[in-house]
């Protein structure tokens, strides 16, 4: 695919495209303004003290802070971003092949089934946002209590008369903030760049953190130049690897039947069915992170136990699943394995839903040497599993990149405090950024062609 930027001169020439771009930029600006609105009741003095002690290290909290654009560490109303909606979407997608009634609904009327799925995704996102808010508050309170000798960022207790009113206020406000972010994403998809709303909201959060993270690279003058060059090299290599893997395809040969033209029948047409190396995208990283977050959330309810043995056990569980420090091999190994496993699992779910075997059979197409229908689906599933292996390993490496780079820089004598900027502009964040930029370019290219501008952004 050859890329040219000659189509940029048409972006402002078309009134419709110009309007969509301005609406998209305006909504993203509104989102970033709302992302700086703090949650009520937060003790910002304690929060600042805790952030000063816990910065760096590439922990899971750093990962969440990256994806939220800094709203997690600042305890914004939009701290959860749009991730409860994404989690709800993943849950429903995984339930469809498990529950026969849902699978029949998808097969009988796909359009109505998609509407049903979208409706229930919104319904499920509300409790997911509330649970995420409770978990985030409990984790931050427990970590700050350990680090600051009992100081709490936000006194929280839904059933305690002393804190109930403030706690319910915070919970409702943060849940509403998540739904507001989802609504902004839907507005972008409807009135701005089509189909890119939620992706651009996540993209805006990541990009918003980059200037401050780059500034952290120059905080230590002794290592500033080295860290800048090292970070730039990591970013270039990571972007190249992401593009290379994301563009990876296995073209399976397919024979399409010839067409009848009058009394004559044309010859069969040779074609290909492209199977993606990384069909699941960023979803396995998000899903594995969400699963690994649950033990930390659950342990936060027991760390105040009067039993010293129970308290110490759950404190250890919480520290393990926070992934803090470069010596936590167990957490990062588990994270890597879960990303690989979820990549295979989610790819299998998505591939089965596409049902290539029956779809090819309906149009009379065949894979040479393979019977139509179920044998074709089985053959294509085998091919997809084989090419998914490098994609799964790649995603696993991306997931544990902070840990690997931390080991490397620690071996070179670079302090953890100088590594924060590096961790938060590479790997997982770049995977999202590159994917969103590519999809946005393709959508704009389609809009330009729709309006008659054939000399567009992408020339294949």
Residue-wise pLDDT for 84-114, tens only, equals 888 888 888 778 777 878 777 777 777 787 8
Task: Tell me phi and psi for residue 253, to 5 degrees.
Answer: -65, 140
Query: What's the token pair of residue 147?
Result: 């680090």
The Cβ of residue 430 has, within 10 Å, a number of other Cβ atoms equal to 19
> Does residue 133 contact residue 126 with C-beta atoms inside 8 Å?
no
2 pLDDT band (50/70/90 cuts)?
Answer: very low
The CB density around residue 59, as the number of other CB atoms within 10 Å, is: 22
Q: Tell me the range of 158-172, 220-234, 437-451 where mean pLDDT is highest.
A: 158-172
* 297 vs 226: which has the higher pLDDT: 226
pLDDT for residue 164 is more than 50: yes
Please compute the mean of the pLDDT values over residues 210-221 and round it to a whole number.
72
Q: Is residue 37 within 8 Å of 176, Cβ to Cβ?
A: no
As a whole number, mean pLDDT of residues 313-326 equals 66
Confidence of residue 200 (pLDDT cuts 50, 70, 90): confident
pLDDT at residue 430 tops 80: no
Architecture label for domain 2-459: Orthogonal Bundle (1.10)
pLDDT confidence of residue 26: 92
pLDDT for the residue numbered 371: 84
pLDDT at position 179, please? 92
| pLDDT of 53 | 66
Lookup result for tokens 């704009």: 444
Other beta carbons within 10 Å of 415: 12
Q: What is the pLDDT of residue 5?
A: 45
pLDDT digits 0-9 by tens, 323-338: 554 456 777 888 889 8
Least confident among 22-26, 169-173, 187-191, 427-431: 427-431
């Amino acid at each position: 695919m050859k890329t040219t930027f000659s189509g940029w001169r048409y972006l402002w020439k078309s009134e419709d495209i110009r309007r969509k771009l301005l609406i998209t930029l305006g909504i993203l600006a509104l989102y970033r303004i709302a992302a700086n609105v703090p949650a009520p009741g937060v003790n910002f003095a304690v929060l600042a003290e805790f952030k000063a002690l816990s910065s760096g290290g590439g922990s899971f909290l750093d990962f969440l802070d990256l994806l939220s654009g800094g709203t997690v560490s600042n305890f914004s109303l939009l701290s959860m971003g749009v991730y409860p909606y994404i989690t709800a979407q993943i849950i429903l997608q995984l339930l469809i092949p498990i529950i026969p009634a849902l699978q029949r609904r998808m097969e009988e009327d796909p359009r109505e089934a998609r509407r049903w799925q979208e409706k229930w995704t919104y319904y499920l996102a509300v409790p997911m946002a509330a649970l995420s808010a409770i978990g985030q508050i409990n984790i931050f309170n427990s970590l700050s209590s350990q680090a600051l000798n009992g100081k709490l960022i936000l006194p929280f207790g839904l059933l305690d008369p002393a804190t109930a009113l403030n706690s319910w206020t915070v919970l409702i406000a943060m849940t509403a903030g998540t739904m507001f972010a989802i609504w902004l994403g839907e507005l972008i998809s409807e009135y701005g760049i089509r189909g890119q709303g939620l992706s651009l909201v996540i993209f805006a959060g990541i990009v918003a953190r980059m200037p401050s993270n780059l500034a952290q690279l120059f905080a230590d003058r002794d290592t500033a130049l080295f860290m800048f060059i090292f970070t730039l090299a990591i970013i270039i290599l990571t972007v190249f690897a992401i593009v290379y893997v994301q563009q990876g395809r296995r073209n399976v040969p397919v024979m399409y039947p010839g067409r009848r033209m009058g009394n004559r029948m044309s010859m069969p047409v040779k074609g290909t069915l492209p199977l993606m190396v990384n069909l699941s995208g960023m979803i396995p990283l998000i899903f594995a992170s969400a699963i690994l977050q649950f033990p930390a959330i659950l342990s936060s309810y027991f760390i105040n136990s009067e039993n010293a043995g129970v308290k110490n056990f759950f404190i250890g569980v919480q520290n393990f699943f926070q992934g803090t420090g470069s010596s936590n091999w167990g957490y990062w190994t588990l994270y890597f394995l879960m990303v690989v496993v979820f990549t295979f699992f989610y790819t299998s779910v998505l591939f089965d839903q596409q049902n290539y075997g029956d779809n090819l059979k309906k149009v009379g197409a065949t894979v040479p040497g393979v019977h139509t229908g179920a044998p074709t689906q089985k053959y294509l599933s085998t091919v997809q599993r084989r090419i998914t292996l490098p994609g799964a390993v790649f995603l696993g490496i991306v997931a544990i990149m902070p840990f690997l780079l931390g080991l490397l820089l620690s071996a070179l004598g670079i302090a953890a405090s100088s590594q924060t900027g590096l961790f938060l502009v590479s790997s997982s964040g770049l995977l999202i950024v590159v994917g969103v930029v590519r999809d946005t370019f393709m959508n704009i290219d389609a809009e330009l062609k729709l309006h008659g501008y054939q000399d567009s952004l992408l020339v294949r």
